[in-house]
Amino acid sequence: IIEHVKKVAEVIPVFGFYLQAAIGGRVYSYDFWQQFAEIPNVYAIKVAAFNRYQTLDVVRAVAHSSRRDEIVLYTGNDDNIVADLLTPYRFEIDGELVEKRFVGGLLGHWAVWTEKAVELLVAVKQMLATGYTDAASMLATNIAVTDMNAAIFDPANAFHGCITGVHEVLRRQGLMDGIWTLNPKETLSPGQAEE
C-alpha cells in the first residue's frame, strides 16, 4: 500500500483516511502510519478508527515524523468528536515535547445539523483559546453528542442503519422526502427512529 501511495503522491497531494474496521476499513499499525507520514505530498489524515489505541497510533506516528509540521489531523471519530478536538496529544521525542492536535473534523455526523456542528467547533476552538474554561461542561457535551450520534449511526446494530439514520434526520428537517437508498433492504433498525 505504501508504494501505491507514493506513486499517487508523485502526481497529487494525498489525504489519508483511516476508516474503522466495523464498516469495511482495515486496521493499520503504527509502523504503517509512520511510513505513510514520511511520504512527501501527504498533507492530512482523517482518523475514523473509532478506537483510541488506533487513533493514538496515527497521532504518535505523525508526531514522530520528520513531516509532523506539514501534516494536519482531522477527526472522523464520530463517537468522540469533542474530546478529539480538545485533546493535546503530547509525546517526548528526542528530549523534546511534541504536541499534535486534531484541527477539525470530517464526520458523517456533521452531514446533519451542520449549523450546530459549526457552532460546536467554534466553541471548542474558543475553549482552547481561553485555557479550557468550563471544560466539564464541554466534556458533558461530548457525551451528549456521542449519545445522539449513536442514534443516527446505529452501532447497536453493527451500523446497519447508519445511512438511513442520516437520511431520517434530513427527512425530519424537511431536506429529504424519504430515507430511501439504492438498496431497498437498507432501512432503519428496529427502535432506531424512536431513539
Confidence of residue 15 (pLDDT cuts 50, 70, 90): very high
Is 118 among the domain residues? no
Is 61 among the domain residues? yes
**Is the pLDDT confidence value at 22 over 90?**
no
Q: CB neighbours of 56 closer than 8 A, spacing ≥ 6?
A: 89
pLDDT score of 191: 94
Confidence of residue 108 (pLDDT cuts 50, 70, 90): confident
Stated pTM of the model: 0.90
Phi, psi angle pair for 169, to nearest 5°: -65, -45
pLDDT score of 27: 96
pLDDT score of 23: 83
Is 162 among the domain residues? no
CB of 61 closer than 8 Å to CB of 124: no
**Is the pLDDT confidence value at 134 over 90?**
no
Confidence of residue 104 (pLDDT cuts 50, 70, 90): very high
**Is the pLDDT confidence value at 132 over 90?**
no
Is 36 among the domain residues? yes
Count of structural domains within the chain: 1
Is 143 among the domain residues? no
Is 10 among the domain residues? yes
- The whole domain housing 20 covers 2-112
Is 51 among the domain residues? yes
Q: What is the mean pLDDT of the segment spanning 143-148?
A: 94
Is 37 among the domain residues? yes
pLDDT score of 166: 95
d(CA 12, CA 179): 36
Phi, psi angle pair for 97, to nearest 5°: -85, 120
